[in-house]
Amino acid sequence: MTTPDNTTATSAQDETTEQPKYLRRIRSFVLREGRLTKGQQRSLELFWPTMGLEHQPQPYDFEQVFGRKADLVLEIGFGMGKSFVAMAKAAPELDFIGIEVHKPGVGACLGEAETEGVKNIRLFEHDAVEILNDSIADGSLTTIQLFFPDPWHKTRHHKRRIVQPDFVQVLRRKLKIGGVFHMATDWENYAEHMLEVMTAAEGYQNLATDNLYVPRPDNRPLTKFENRGVKLGHGVWDLMFKKTN
């Protein structure tokens, strides 16, 4: 399957056929033919021209994109976007960049932003690894959010987890000094993996007082996947790491 932006849908078989540019070839997602609702389709047609951004090989000037100078928050994998839009609405002084590969989620998020009258968001429908490497300037982000990433719970799929030593160094490059990488998950084993990768990573400081997990921050709305996990009786772990150098 080829999506409109020429992103080839991946499967276990074709993940090695991509261009050699990116070192990290194993993807954290599998694109499925997502059926768009009429509302999502309509939102994409009406609001993508003003809120959508295309992948480009050089960094965007976000002061120009948003028409002002503001701290930038980037969220990876916002899902249907409800909590992402709620955060942007609650912090109008910040500008929010969302990245999601799932087109129905992008459509839903655009519709939600319009309904809520939120203007301080822009969205990419693309692989976050490529957007970060190509389209985001180094040292430009105040916060990076990764909420309830796909846990890939089978051991043979752990290599697909997005939190990996190389990836967290890409994130560190994109953060300002003092900027924060905030993760949350409802999978204990993934929380432990995040903690292990981040504790070993150079240039980060754990913001948890006990060097483990931080209390759930008040400014993080309940996300769709968090809600699902909570209903299943899962715990929730938040991790916050500051870029120190």
CA distance 56 to 46: 22
Environment class of 202 (CB within 10 Å of its CB; exposed 0-12, middle 13-18, buried 19+)? exposed
Using CB under 6 A, list all residues that contact ligand SAM. Answer: 28-29, 76-79, 99-102, 105, 127-129, 147-150, 162, 223-226
Active-site annotation holder among 5, 61, 150, 218: 150
Choice between 127 and 238, CB closer to ligand SAM: 127
Write phi, then psi, for 52 (nearest 5 degrees).
Answer: -90, 145
150 an active-site residue?
yes
Choice between 69 and 154, CB closer to ligand SAM: 154
Residue 83: CB minimum distance to ligand SAM, A: 7
Choice between 37 and 244, CB closer to ligand SAM: 37
Tokens of 232: 């299943």
Residue 181: CB minimum distance to ligand SAM, A: 15
- Biggest CA–CA distance in the chain, Å, is 48
Residue 26: CB minimum distance to ligand SAM, A: 11
CA distance 48 to 76: 18
Choice between 76 and 180, CB closer to ligand SAM: 76
Q: Are 80 and 106 in contact, with CB atoms under 8 Å apart?
A: no
Choice between 66 and 147, CB closer to ligand SAM: 147
Residue 235: CB minimum distance to ligand SAM, A: 15
Residue 69: CB minimum distance to ligand SAM, A: 26
What is the set of active-site residues? 150
